[in-house]
Chains A and B, each alone.
Chain A
Amino acid sequence: MGHLTYLGVLAGCLVAALWLEPVLRVNVLRRWRRLLLTLLPVILLFGLWDLAAVAAGHWSFDPAQVSGVRLPGGLPLEEVLFFAVVPACAILGFEATRAVLRRPAGDEAAADEERP
């Protein structure tokens, strides 16, 4: 059970956010290419930060509470999943908020008129 702690937290994040896709129809998963293109630089840059932080000893992971799958560089699989899950959840929340509040985010078709 212990090895699943971190994966369980990530699953919890997904459960908390994924319902927005069908219920508020935020269409984030439907725009999966845009989502993947967003996640790519995030995973790369924050993965590098993570590697540097582990190398510098800023933080470490309890081997008893991660799956044990390690990626090249030694990061636990969960860390890279974290950098995909958290941004995806943030985007789901962002799209839900903008749709409910009907406020612009800057990527609307007529985005040239600037109104915060």
Chain B
Amino acid sequence: MLLQSLSEACGLSGNEAEVRNLILKEVQGLVDEHRIDSLGNLITLKRCSSTGAARPRRVMIAAHMDEVGLMVTHIEKSGHLRFSKVGGLDDRTLLSKVVLVGNDRVPGVIGAKPIHLLKEKERHQVVETDQMYIDIGTSSKEETERAVKRGDYVAFATRFSRLEGGLVKGKAFDDRAGCAALIELLRGRGSYPSDLYGVFTVQEEIGLRGARVAAYAVEPDYAFAFEGTVCDDLPKKKDLSPTTILGGGAAITLADRSFFADKRLVKLLVETAEKNGVPYQFKQPMVGATDAGRIHLAREGVPSVAVAVPCRYIHSPVNILSLSDFENLVRLMSLALVALPTLWPSP
């Protein structure tokens, strides 16, 4: 399954080539043009069915290829690796995880002190990244340096698998779920009523960097960001927002820390969903940031919205999503792209 190979591919921010090659193989036959820009974004174009317009409307859909992870910063005399984080990770999720170091995928373990040796105080403390190390099995610096080097990226070794209830687990669903949805959309139809720029971006997790230059180049009239997003739907003591609910349908962002969604596009998505009976939900506003945060500020401004697949435990070594949400996102967007011309001629 496409989501599986995307999830198991390694592509941390700044090192997206493996993921990009995989995507390129999938989409080559589906698009009219493609290119890789100077930052590494994969920009594809699926031309619209001929409308006779001098300049067909351009819709950009962005999904980011990069994932959060670690980077080797230092090799100890003992051969152990010190590391720092690439993107937002919670230290508490790192201990005792199996990782893959470098492009050769050298396996390693983030070691944890056994409970027998923990002092009372340590049991209540969070071990911070600068006290952790990766053990790749070597016993000297020289031996380690034959296998890995400083600056190597470190990805989690999580395998993809199916769970009960139509759920799946794996790593990097943020945003390989978005990448997979975008590929499905490109597969879905021979063409859409507008020129569709499917853009697979780089470096989202470290500051939405790829989307900025891609949107400048594409100059879209409208933009959508596809995401794997925060889901916090397990029972709570207080009656607070679950952010999104697994199985609740495609999650539409109204506003997050990086942008306010364009109200016309939100209305289009909601009306399309309701007319066609596609489950949808609104994501808790002001949580997180997406590529839309950069795209909407490109040039003279681009009406934008983000739509996402809810994912439990994102930005950790293992995430869970519901395939029904994934399918609903693809279905909703496929219908919305066809309905989009109703918004014209504005803007």
Chain A partners chain B: no
